Amino acid sequence: MTGNDHHHRLGTVLLTGAAGTLGRVLADPLRAACALLRRSDLGPALIAQGLADGLACDLADTGAVLHLLEGVDAVVHLGGIAVEGPFQPILQANLLGLHNLYEAARRQGVRRIVFASSNHVTGCRRIDERVTPQDLPRPDGNYGLSKLFGEGLASLYFDRHGIETVSLRIGTATPTPLDRRALSTWLSHADLARLVLAALRARDVGALVVYGISANTARWYDSDAGWARIDYQPQDNAEAFRDRVGHLPVHPDPNDPQNRFQGGSFMGIGPFDAT
């Protein structure tokens, strides 16, 4: 079968990183769309956010992740380190975490993963470049590299094991755009929910990579083909906020890499010398 069936009710969906910023945004839309929503995060994060129904699971714990995915039909994978930083923590939470997730998916028969990748997979592109998911990635740090590893895992586990993934190279998912860069990268919370539900519902996606942004006039990414494949139709546009934030650069120096490259402030973080 091809195309999307919006009346199709999703089965048991696992949301990792459920106590995080986007996890809390997505809980209600996911709960409305699936038969059962299972939420997980690190124990202290669940407690801090008062998610009493959440399951404590460190993604770096291979056995715990295997257990977490038992009986799950699809995963929305948001868990992990979400910013640029030193390699060791990213190695544990993101690289090992992703490997644990895909191995558990294979062993537990999970058929679909929606992976929160990031625009930082291509953050070393200049702001005058227009980028598609088919172009060579140019990660801007350890974090972007960890997301590229995830997209590679998605490709491998589809080709070898038939597990389908939509990797969402999310831009900047804030309630409103906060600076000039976000006029290009913004993903409204409403469009985030539309995108994740489209990625869960679409048939025959294989290992698809799309950018996750709203219908921004100033966008740097051309993701139209992938969006059509999953029937994602963004409704918001950061341009409406240009008067408010268009004069706000990422860095005061116009020639700073943080202004010249798509990765923005992450271009100003690192390197990290081992101590």
Q: Which residues are designated catalytic?
A: 143
Q: Give kind and range of the element (H or E) at residue 209.
A: strand 207-212
Q: Which of 47, 66, 82, 190 binds ligand NAI (CB under 6 A)?
A: 82
Provide the sign of the torsion angle of the four alpha carbons 132, 136, 141, 142, taken in this order. Answer: positive
Nearer to ligand NAI, 221 or 273 (CB): 221
197 contacts 33 by C-beta, under 8 angstroms: yes
Residue 38 C-beta: closest distance to ligand 15L, Å: 23
Residues 114-153 that bind ligand NAI (CB under 6 A): 116, 118
Nearer to ligand NAI, 117 or 273 (CB): 117
Q: Which of 48, 18, 49, 46 is nearest to 31 (CA)?
A: 18
List CB contacts of 189: < 8 A, sequence separation 6 or more: 25, 173, 175
Q: Which of 38, 120, 189, 194 binds ligand 15L (CB under 6 A)?
A: 120
Contact between 185 and ligand 15L per CB under 6 A: yes
Q: Greatest CA span in the chain, whole angstroms?
A: 55
Contact between 17 and ligand NAI per CB under 6 A: yes
Nearer to ligand 15L, 75 or 116 (CB): 116
DSSP H helices, the chain, are 21-33, 43-48, 62-68, 87-90, 97-108, 142-161, 182-185, 189-201, 224-230, 242-245, 257-260
Residues that bind ligand NAI (CB under 6 A): 17, 19-23, 41-42, 45, 58-60, 78-82, 93, 97, 116, 118, 170, 172-173
Residues that bind ligand 15L (CB under 6 A): 82-83, 118-120, 172, 185, 264
